[in-house]
Every structure is written in C-alpha cells, then in structure tokens.
Amino acid sequence: MRVLFVTSEVAGLYKRGGLADVSYSLPVALSKKGIRVAIALPFYENISSKDAVCVGQLAIDYDRRRELVFVFRTMLPHSHIPVYLFRHPLFDNYDAKDIVERFAFFSKAVAQLYLYSAQMLGGPYDIVHCNDWHTALVPLLLGEQGKIGYRERGTIQSKLVKTVLTIHNLLYTGETGASLGLKLGLPKTVFHPFITPLGKAVRLLEEGFVYADVITTVSPTYATELMRGVHGAHMPALMKKRGDSIIGILNGIDEHLWDPKTDAALPVSYDTQSVHTKKPIDVLRYSFIQ
C-alpha cells in the first residue's frame, strides 16, 4: 500500500504546533509496518534546501493565471521517507496574508501532482491522507464530486484513490470568500457557501467533510463531540450526512522520541524500574528551572 500524507507542517522541517509531531511520527510508524509513505509539504523559505533536489515543475491554473510550482524531493530526517516540497512565492511565508487562498492553491498543486504520481513519484498512491483545513480541498480537487449523492457513479479519479481527512483542531476551519471557487476554476455548484455580513463564504474544512471518503479525529471522544455540536452548532447537520464515515482514533505516542530513558531534554533519565525514585527529582529540578 502507498500513502501520500499531505500536511502544512512536519517536525524536523517546519513546526508550528502539535500537527507537526503527528506529521512526523505517523508516517514513520506506518513505514515501519511496511506501508510506503511520502509526505507533501509547502517549501517554506526557512526550510533548508541543502539536501532538496528538484524533480520537476507543475503548471497550475489559478486566478486566471498560469503559475509554475517547482517540486523538490528531500528525506524526512532520521528516516527513509521522501518529502515532496512545493516551491512557489505564495508558499514562502506561512504567516503572510490570504493564508486560506494560499493553501487552496497548495491543495490544487498537490492534486495536480497526484495525477502524474505514476510517472513522477514512482507509482500511484492508494490513499491521500489530508490534515486539517489547510489540505481539506484535496479530495474535491482530485475529482471527488461523485462521492456525495452519487456514490454508485463515482468519477474515475474517486475510484482510483481513497481520501482520508483528519481533524486535529476544529476551531480553525479555513473560512474565506466564495469567490475562491472561481480562482480555482471550479463550478459554483461544488462548493457549499453560507451567508456572512460580508457576503457568501466557504469553509475549506467543511468542504473536506463533504468530499473525503473517511473523516478521522484525534480521539473517539472528539468524534462524539463533533456529532453533538460541542464545537459548533452547525456541525451536527453536516456530520449526520457523514456519520457512517467518521472514525475517532486516539492519538498515539512516539515511544522512541519521548522515551524518558533517552530524552535529552529531561534533567534526569528514568525507566519503569527507576521512575518512582528518579522522576520526583526530575519534577523538582524542572520546577526550580521554571
């Protein structure tokens, strides 16, 4: 099995929060089980390009312009997992303005690369795993329109690849103006806009809810909360349509990275035999340092 893991951050290359840790540890864990994994990530300007090799360029039509996106290949640190970095001026700085539109453009570039994955990436991928709002448009852009309401007549693309969208933090939905569809070259009918004081808008994460094959969350409890509307009154109606496709999977832990026997960040190392005697010393020293 081959999996393309699409994310906005990866520990060891670019980290802003907890998603980066998952984006590192999960591909590594899957690789150890014999699954062939690759990662797709924007090539931010502060990512080292020392070991990155350009494998080609993509022509992407966006906002009535033809844009060229250069694709580089590097390796995930301390692993044999390839990382495909997408270089374009829009991806230089995560914190630049129009962040939602920039990640929509990134999603279109990823979808375009997937179409040629057999030639460029050593074979097609069976699963495209997207994460949070940043990459939630990838299922739609892969040709997944047939997934909702027309499952028996799914598109060729939707039959060739299965998509997973993992929700790490529902507080951020990627809201922007509904005109984004025009910039992406999509018909109005594929988006699900809503009215705001400033006009029609869309949420990228909710479009991912509609078009992804499977939706996962970081725990079974979080999945239940989504269904109950704890994280938004508008969510239950949307979740009801996809209730049979939502799975809560409790986040694991990287036992190598967070092993207290070898963790250099701890003042005192300990294991199961010495935890009762050494960990109290660890806690006291940490409190003193703070």
Rounded Cα distance between 47 and 13, Å, is 6
Tens of pLDDT, residues 80-95: 999 999 999 999 999 9
pTM: 0.88
Q: How far apart are CA 34 and CA 49, in angstroms?
A: 28
Q: Can you give the pLDDT at residue 289?
A: 47
Cα–Cα dist 135/4, whole Å: 12
Convert the pLDDT of each residue in 113-167 to its tens digit: 988 877 777 788 999 999 999 999 999 999 876 555 545 566 777 778 899 999 9
The pLDDT score that the predictor gives to residue 89 is 96
Average pLDDT, stretch 168-193? Answer: 91
d(CA 141, CA 102): 15
CA distance 151 to 238: 17
Which domains occur in the chain, in start order? 2-253 (3.40.50.2000), 259-290 (no CATH)
Rg over CA atoms, the chain: 20
Q: Residue 189: its pLDDT value, please?
A: 86
- Beta-strand ranges (E) seen in the chain are 2-6, 36-42, 53-62, 65-75, 82-87, 127-131, 162-167, 175-177, 194-196, 199-203, 214-217, 246-248
pLDDT in tens, 242-275: 777 888 887 777 777 778 888 877 878 888 888 8
Q: Which residues contact 89 (CB under 8 A, 6 or more apart)?
A: none
Give the tens place of pLDDT for each residue, 7-34: 999 999 999 999 999 999 999 999 999 9
